[in-house]
Amino acid sequence: MHLSWHAQLGELQQANEPCVIVTIFSAKGSTPRAIGSKMLVSAADNFLSIGGGHLEHQAIKLAKDMLQQQTRQSFIKSFSLGASLGQCCGGQVELLFEAFYPFARQVAIFGAGHIANALVPILEQLPCQVMWSDSRSQLFPSQVYTNTKIVISDDLCAVIAQLPTDSYVLIMTHNHQLDQQLCETLLKRQHLGFIGVIGSTTKWKKFKLRLLHKGYNETQISRICCPIGHSDIGGKLPMEIAVSVSAQFIQYYQNTQTLKPSNTVSENADGHLKLLP
């Protein structure tokens, strides 16, 4: 069964694959498909159809060029089906090209307990790559999504060296001492992303005192968020905590997202492109 265009887009985004959506923006005369028909083009494949033939061939080529050049600006291009493409329809269409690129946000989760097992399936449906680490292989599910990588290691602090410095880190192991060691490793590395530790305010007070005694200053320690979770979402069940933590992550990446929708450009009769208002 063929997926709808939005379901297909969801799958590509989940797999962290960039793609271009090609839409029939306007149509005059005899055309193979109606206005609004869509096709999705990734670097390796294309999905759905805008009518086939030379029109679709040219559209795929333009879409792949966008991906290769990492073009983010949308544009509209006009095609004369009879004169320029030799199709029997003889009409004219305008195609809208819109590129969608995956988010590069890396989420690192340390610990594979009940809360992590509730949280990861939620994060897997969000625009991120997940690195999930623990020493206990039996706690991981048998299957995970393609945007999740499981790391089984007896030295979780060493795993931190594999992370980009702007990673969103969530620490939720079964051992408070290990949680603190992970925090110290991140602070020593001058981690620039989010550092979150699961626990109570009492746990955090003890953590903070230990970090101060070890020579970390208030500015460094303030980079750590504990307890983690969205302040407006309470509850102690694993799924309640998972929803709260994922809501905090969504708020974080939306606030720090730098890519904004670009203007759309249209092609004039003389072949030049112009910005649409």
pLDDT of residue 147: 84
Same domain, 169 and 66: no
Euclidean distance between CA atoms 40 and 126, whole angstroms: 20
Strand partners, 197: 171
Buried b (16+ CB within 10 A) or exposed e, 19-41: bbbbbbbebeeebbbeeebbbbb
pLDDT of residue 175: 95
Q: Which tokens belong to 111?
A: 């610990």
Domain count, the chain: 2
Same domain, 251 and 123: yes
Q: Which tokens belong to 7?
A: 């379901």
Taking the CB of residue 132, how many other CB atoms lie within 10 A of it? 25
Same domain, 87 and 126: no
Q: Tokens 């623990």 — which residue?
A: 134
Domain residues for the domain of 82 are: 5-101+260-275
Taking the CB of residue 123, how many other CB atoms lie within 10 A of it? 25
Same domain, 28 and 49: yes
Taking the CB of residue 265, how many other CB atoms lie within 10 A of it? 16
Give yes or no for a contact between 27 and 92, defined as CB atoms under 8 angstroms apart.
yes
- pTM, to two decimals: 0.65
Same domain, 131 and 190: yes
Residue 23 backbone dihedrals phi, psi, to 5 degrees: -125, 135
Q: Which of 39, 20, 22, 36 is nearest to 76 (CA)?
A: 22
pLDDT of residue 262: 43
pLDDT of residue 87: 54
What DSSP element (H or E) covers 232?
none
Same domain, 139 and 60: no
pLDDT tens sequence for the chain (277 residues): 577 898 898 888 767 789 999 999 998 887 778 899 999 999 999 999 998 888 899 999 999 999 999 898 999 999 887 655 555 556 788 999 999 887 668 999 999 999 999 999 999 988 888 999 999 999 999 999 878 999 999 999 999 998 988 899 999 999 999 999 999 999 998 888 999 999 999 999 999 999 999 999 999 999 999 999 998 998 999 999 999 999 999 999 888 764 444 444 554 444 434 444 3
Euclidean distance between CA atoms 37 and 79, whole angstroms: 15
What DSSP element (H or E) covers 22?
strand 19-28
Euclidean distance between CA atoms 241 and 45, whole angstroms: 39
pLDDT of residue 72: 86
Q: Which tokens belong to 49?
A: 């159809």
Same domain, 229 and 270: no
Euclidean distance between CA atoms 111 and 126, whole angstroms: 20
